[in-house]
Amino acid sequence: MESRLPKRVRPHVASGPRRARPLRPRVPLRPEHPQLKSAPEQASAASPLLRFTRHGIPALIVLAGVVAMCFGSETALAGGAGLIGAGLATWLVSWLYRFGVSGDDARASEERARERFERTGRWGESQ
């Protein structure tokens, strides 16, 4: 039974007997290549300024809220609670942004896998 898909979508069909031969060893990627870094390594590669922006600024805002609450009046309590809420919201927005960007990386990886599948007829992350 012949497939209705064009041969360019099925590259393994066009290669015929060559497909049974073992694959040639591929040249390994350079160690600094982004695909070789795992997620924890990439997260630890963040600059100190970026880490301060992500965590330090929200922590300073929360600390300012706690200090404001320590100086007693009802207005200071309400203002301190507002500052603590603003600090937590700042940290949450930063976290949500990083979470969204990681989804973009996953989509890019999926697209690379699809392009590789179209070229070679094999699916997978291994080279």
Residue 122: what pLDDT?
78
Are residues 11 and 121 in contact, defined by beta-carbon separation less than 8 angstroms?
yes
The first and second tokens of residue 28, run together, are 């390994």
Map out the domains of the chain as residue ranges: 49-120
- pLDDT per residue over 68-123, tens digit each? 999 878 889 999 999 999 999 999 999 998 888 877 878 888 888 888 888 888 77
Residue 9: what pLDDT?
54
Q: Enter the pTM of the model.
A: 0.51
Q: Averaging pLDDT over each range in 4-8, 10-14, 22-26, 121-125, which range is the top one?
A: 121-125
Distance CA 33, CA 28 (A): 10
Distance CA 94, CA 88 (A): 10
